[in-house]
Structures are given as structure tokens and as C-alpha cells.
Amino acid sequence: MAASVVQRCLTAAVKVKCRTPRFTARRCLLSAAYTDPKPWEGMEKDSQNLALLANFMDRTYDKKLPVSSLTISRFIDNISSKEEVDQAEYYLYKFRHSPNCWYLRDWTVHSWVRQCIKYGVRDKALHTLQNKVQYGIFPDDFTFNLLIDSYIKDKDFKSACAVVEEVMLQEAFDLSSTQTLALYAIGGYLATKPTLSMAEERALGAALLIVGLQQSNTVGRSAQLLGHTLIGKVEMQRGIHAVFRGMPLSWSRGYLGRALAVMEGVAAEDSGDAKLSKDTLDRLSEVLQDLSSTSDSSGEESGEEMEQEGKQESGVDEEDEEERAKLPDYVCKFKELRGQLETQGKVEPSSFQALVSVLAARSLAAAERADLEAYRGRVRAWEDEKKHLVLREKEMRERSEQERQERLAARATAQQA
């Protein structure tokens, strides 16, 4: 299976040389080798009766005592049905609200996500991920990739983007494979032309911007442009405070201005093959037109009505109003820069999604190899750490039993005396 995926990637890459990406782009997602659970399942597991384990945890919590990280790990590792996933969610919540909450192991989080995927309840994984503070679910890059990929393969791009949002919030775009999957998910979702809420525009824009800044090719520049566009729209409508609050974004105003700066940068490059995709430029054009029409209609209102509306708007200050006043200049500059890009042949006719598909075909195979090597090493480290914890647990139990026997002996001696 892995060989067929690699062959598919190579075929797509060969076609790209002969034709434009819009005719040749094909889906090239994570290979079977990447998603194969065998390396994980090969890790030594401690078989347990979940009913007894649940009873033990309940009794421990009733006594106001903490449950160990090994106990919750054993419970999740031994899940064998959807119903047991529901139980595990409850105990993850209980563990997060216990004194041992900081000791939820990375392998436990990984196991939880794998079990949710395995038993067809990814919504549970996504729910705990979106409520990470309540459940303590902070996955690593590889685990994020598995969850995003599982949604993409089912063409559930909206849920895939929800996972990408969590990756963005945790600033976990270190792996090139994660960046590619994120771009693919966002491109697939935007291709369906959804009506985006302000929260979605902000989240998708931030993810596109952060990933785009790490690449200098056509995909990266187009992602930067689209990211600045979506965030700039939020800034113009709600003010800069609505942009950066709770997000890893700059507090500096002028996101639409920075979108134009991306266009200007591409136009000024004498060397390099970087272009901007037509659909991302169209998106910026639409946003500028919509904002301009909204501004014009607002200008027709009376001064008293405008003042009342201004009082109702939260988070919009004088500097935000100054930024809004630059909109006519932004529109003029956009038209000028777009004409310049078209003259230079730096407008890519292929869609953003097609470009990302080609990028995936070219780069995912190499990225997978590095990820898999690192993952296998991580699994070995997890196994060593788990063995160490099991040994410590055994020693503590033996010490506890020894102390109990000594107390019993002392009590017996005292009674005889």
C-alpha cells in the first residue's frame, strides 16, 4: 500500500512538469505506513479488566486520593468498544481535575486519539481537544497528523479545519507534514465556498498566515495573502482586539495593508518562481469590495445614528477607525498591484487547493520518512519511561506493604504488653 502511494506521488509529480497543476493535482495523503498502528500496538501493554479498574478509580476518588498516571493510561490502552471510549472520557476529565493532573503522559494522549479513530468516535477526540483545559489533551505533531488525515480522507474538511485550529492555538506547526495537511484541509474547506463566521475567518486566517510564513513558494505566498485577507476582514469589522485576543497573532494593526505588502513583495522579486493564485487574489478583491460597500452604506446614516452604533460596538477604538479610513487607499493600491502582477505573469491560474495538492504529492513522502523515524524513536522512549514507572509503582507498593506489616506487628506487640 505504501508503495502504491509513493508511485501515485511520483506520477503526479511527473505530470506537473508537463501541464498546469489544475489538470494534474491529485490527492496524496498520508500513506498506510504512516497511519499503520503496528508500531504503537507493538508497545508492551498491561492487560486489565476495565470494570475492575473503573471500580478502583471510583473508590480512590471517593477517598479523595489521586489516581496515578499509569492507571488512567492502562484504562485507555485497554479500550475495546465505543462504550468504553465514553467511560474513558469521563475518567480523563476526573484525572484532569485531580492533584495529579500535570502527569497525564504523552503516550496516553496519543493512545486516546488512536482509540477514538479506531472505534469511529473521532468527535470524542475533537471534543476533548477543543476542551483541552478540561481534559488535558495536548497532542504532539504526529498525533495531530493522524486526526487531521482521518477527517481529510472522509472529506470532512470542516472537522479537519477544527483540528487545524487547535494545532494553530498550540503553535504546533513544526513538521512540514503538519503544514501540508493543514493547508490541504483549509483549501478543501474553502473550496466548498462555506459561509464563514467571524471566528472561522480569524482561526483559518491565523493558521494560513502562520504556515504561509514558513514557506517562500507560491503556496506559501498565497497562504500569507489569504491569511492576511481573512484576518484583515475581521479587523476592519470588529477592531484589532477581536483579532489577537486568545490568538498567537500580532497586535499591530493593518492586516489588509500587510496583504497588499505580500502582493508588492511578489511583484518586486526579480528572481524566483513565487506567484499568487488567482482565487486568493479574487478573495481579497471580494473582501475589499464588501468592506467598501458596507462603509458607503454606513456613511449614508445620520451622525446621531452613527454615534449610537459606535457606542454599541465593542473593542473598536479611534485607531481602528483610522485603519478603516485607509480602505479607499487599499482598494486603489490593490488594483494597481494586481495589474502589475498580471503584466509580470505572476498570477497563478490554478486554484489554491490544486497548488496544495501538488505540494502534497511532491513533499509528503519525504516528510513522512522523517516523521516515522522520529515517531518510532518516541515510542521506544515512551516504552522505557513506562517500564520505569511500573518499576517505581511496584517498589512503592512493596514499601507500602512492608510498612503496613510493621504497623500491624507493632500493634500486636503493644496489645500483648
Which stretches within 64-121 are classed as H helix? 69-77, 82-96, 106-118
pLDDT band at 240 (very low <50, low <70, confident <90, very high): confident
CA–CA separation, 192 and 215 (whole Å) = 25
> Using an 8 Å Cβ cutoff, are 213 and 171 in contact?
no
Indicate whether 412 pLDDT > 90: no
- Tell me: the pLDDT tens digits for 43-61? 888 888 999 999 999 999 9
pLDDT band at 123 (very low <50, low <70, confident <90, very high): very high
> Using an 8 Å Cβ cutoff, are 233 and 291 in contact?
yes
Q: Which three cell numbers stand for residue 296?
A: 458607503
pLDDT band at 306 (very low <50, low <70, confident <90, very high): very low
% residues pLDDT > 70 (the chain):
88
Which stretches within 213-300 are classed as H helix? 218-238, 241-244, 255-268, 278-299
For residue 348, the surrounding DSSP H or E stretch is strand 347-348
Indicate whether 311 pLDDT > 80: no
Indicate whether 281 pLDDT > 50: yes
- Tell me: the pLDDT tens digits for 389-408? 999 888 888 888 888 888 88
pLDDT band at 203 (very low <50, low <70, confident <90, very high): very high
CB atoms within 10 A of CB 43: 14
Check residue 95 and give its pLDDT.
96
Q: Which three cell numbers stand for residue 54?
A: 473503573
Indicate whether 223 pLDDT > 60: yes
CA–CA separation, 43 and 64 (whole Å) = 32
334-361 mean pLDDT: 94
Indicate whether 89 pLDDT > 90: yes
Q: Which three cell numbers stand for residue 311?
A: 457606542
Check residue 14 and give its pLDDT.
37
CA–CA separation, 111 and 73 (whole Å) = 8
Cβ neighbours for 316, distance < 8 A, ≥ 6 positions apart: 238, 239, 310
